[in-house]
Amino acid sequence: MSEAPVTQQEYELDTSWMSTMGEWGMRAEPGKRGLTLEDIRIGSYGELPEISDNMSGHPRGSAERPDAYRVGGYGVRTLAEIWLDNATFLYEEALQRQWSSATDIPWETVEPLPDEVEEAECLLCTFFNEVEFVAGDVPARWIAQTTPDYLEPRHVLLAQVMDEARHMDVFRKRALANGGGLMRMSGATSGFVGSIDLARDFTEMSTRLHISGEGAVLTMFRMGELFGQNEAEKRMYRLCAQDEARHVAFGVMHLRYLNEACPERREEIHAYLDEAEAQIMAGLQNPAGTQAETSEALAILLGGSKSQYDEGHKKLLVIRRRQLKEYMQRVKTAGFGDRFENGRSTIPAQHAAAY
């Protein structure tokens, strides 16, 4: 018995998706730096909602499906909460200035050091592992809470997480590269650094992390030429400093935008800055008392040995003063410099007047 012939079933091709799209006819043109995020902020694709109702996670400018799930529990949905005007620049710079801890550090220049100096360096590397973990872990949590409509600052924070991962691995590598090892944790995460993770608002977190915490670390990285014992360490600190400067710039420019967009939040921001200044002044007034073990290790490295501790301690005081100076400059750039003139700052007048 022969089988019935197979007939091709005809059906209507559904191309309705072709009419559910964003703005058509937009052509992004590469600039001097290639095709950057700024170059694709064109037409409706560049429009930023003051308040985002995007809870489905659809890309900004795309057409949302009516049956889309509410996949995002986005808590950051207002522009003022996270925006900064130079986000696209910081992101492109982060891409262009990536480096490798495996191949861009001249590890061959690391030579045996006196045990006391090696131990001090390893303790400092342990400390930096702690604080850089917080600096990557906390922003990562906020990325997932931010609407994709604000993709530019999200991208900068994503780049920061990668930077901090590299910082953690480069300091871990240094601790293990010269016969030393990781030392006892400093306890930094149980103090002000740890409080960064307790922030209930993005700006609260960013002020504590970018303005205060990473600002203080940036100063230390910039001074790495003083306590680096070889070219590997000096380059390590230089490269970490260029990354850290972007992270600090994020916080400064976000605070500047928020100050202009929501002046009613100024007193709240001043309260966060009061916390930061308490930590700075504790380190300035008693350099060896704040994170004592880390400060002692720095003094040994700055002096070159335990026998030169007093000389190293004097240099450490210079670093603490520079931390204060650079902090004050960041606050002024963010639009809160008046706190140093009207008595709102908790920094004693004699210290504030010096800068």
The per-residue pLDDT for range 80-115, each reduced to its tens digit, is 999 999 999 999 999 999 999 999 999 999 999 999
Name the residue type at position 116: E
- Whole-number percent of the chain with pLDDT over 70: 90
CA nearest neighbour of 155 among 14, 37, 319, 324 = 37
The per-residue pLDDT for range 20-43, each reduced to its tens digit, is 778 888 899 999 999 999 999 999
Q: How far is CA 242 from CA 129, 139, 179, 221, 306, in A?
A: 17, 19, 28, 9, 30
Please report the domains of the chain, with CATH numbers, ordered by start residue. 82-353 (1.10.620.20)
Q: How far is CA 233 from CA 105, 163, 175, 253, 254, in A?
A: 8, 17, 11, 30, 32
pLDDT of residue 10: 67
Structure tokens at 153: 């600052």
- Whole-number percent of the chain with pLDDT over 90: 74
pLDDT of residue 1: 55
The H or E element containing residue 80 is: helix 79-82
User: How many residues are present in the chain?
Assistant: 355
Tell me the sheet residues that pair with 34: 31
Question: What are the φ and ψ backbone dihedral angles of 103, each rounded to 5 degrees?
Answer: -120, -15
Q: How far apart are CA 253 and CA 92, in angstroms?
A: 16
pLDDT of residue 281: 83
183: three-class secondary structure by DSSP: coil
Q: What angle do CA 141, 38, 59 make, to 5 degrees?
A: 50
Q: What is the pTM of this model?
A: 0.90
Residue 324 has pLDDT above 90, yes or no: yes
Structure tokens at 268: 């709240």
What is the widest separation between alpha-carbon atoms in the chain? 107
Assign 289 a pLDDT band (cuts: 50, 70, 90).
Answer: low
DSSP-derived secondary structure letter, 56: S
Q: Do 229 and 113 touch, CB atoms closer than 8 A?
A: yes
CA nearest neighbour of 301 among 114, 113, 117 = 117
Structure tokens at 346: 């908790």
pLDDT of residue 16: 81
Tell me the sheet residues that pair with 31: 34
Q: Do 276 and 346 touch, CB atoms closer than 8 A?
A: no
